[in-house]
Amino acid sequence: MRVGDRISVTCQDLDDDGAGVGEANGRTVHVAGALPGERAAAVVEHLSRQSPAAWARLEAIEAPSPARRAPACRAFGDCGGCLLQHLDYPAQLAWKRDRVARALGAHPTLEGVRVESCVASPRPLGYRNKSKLVAARAHAGGRLVLGAYAPRSHQVVDLAGCRIAEPPLDETAAALRAILDEAGVRPYDEAALTGDLRHVVLRANHAGQVLAVFIVARPLPDGEALARRLRQARPEVLGVVEHENRTRGNVLFAEMGGAGERILDGAGVLEDQIDAGGRTVRVTLSPGAFFQANRAVAGLAYAAIARAAALAPGDRVVDAYCGVGGIALALAPDAAEVVGIESHAGAIADAAAAAARAGIGNARFVAGDAAAALAAQGRADVVVLNPPRKGCAPAVIAEVARLAPRVVAYLSCDPDTLARDLALLAARGYRSETVTPFDMLPHTPHVEALAVVRRAGA
Q: What is the pLDDT of residue 154?
A: 78
List active site positions.
413
Does residue 373 carry a pLDDT above 60?
A: yes
Query: Model confidence over 293-349: pLDDT tens digits?
Result: 999 999 999 999 999 999 999 999 999 999 999 999 999 999 999 999 999 999 999
Q: What is the DSSP letter of 390?
A: T
| CA distances from residue 174 to 127, 159, 243, 378 in whole angstroms, order as listed | 18, 10, 21, 52
Strands 259-266 and 27-31, bridge-based pairing: unpaired
- Indicate the SS3 state at residue 293: coil
Is residue 403 within 8 A of residue 385, CB to CB? The reply is: no
Q: What is the length of the chain?
A: 458
pLDDT digits (tens, 9 = 90+) for 5-17: 999 999 999 999 9
User: Which of 174, 90, 150 lies closest to 124 in space, CA to CA?
Assistant: 90
| DSSP bridge partners of 57 | 43
The whole-angstrom separation of Cα 55 and Cα 443 is 21
The domains found in the chain, sorted by start residue, are 6-63 (2.40.50.140), 97-122+291-455 (3.40.50.150), 130-267 (2.40.50.1070)
pLDDT value for 140: 66
Q: What confidence tens digit (pLDDT) does each residue in 41-93 have?
A: 999 999 999 999 999 999 999 999 999 999 999 888 888 889 999 999 999 99
* Neighbouring C-beta atoms of residue 212, cutoff 10 Å: 29
Least confident of 27-36, 252-261, 273-282, 367-376: 252-261
- Rounded CA-CA distance 352/245 in Å is 26
End-to-end CA separation in angstroms for the chain: 56
**Are the CB atoms for 346 and 290 separated by under 8 Å?**
no
Inter-residue contact 223 to 266 (CB < 8 Å): no
CA atoms of 348 and 396, how far apart (whole Å): 19
Phi, psi of 162 (to 5 degrees): -55, 130
Radius of gyration of the chain (CA): 23
Q: What is the pTM of this model?
A: 0.94
Which DSSP string do the residues of 323-361 spell out, in sequence order?
Answer: TTSHHHHHHGGGSSEEEEEES-HHHHHHHHHHHHHHT--
Per-residue pLDDT band for 257 (boundaries 50, 70, 90) equals very low
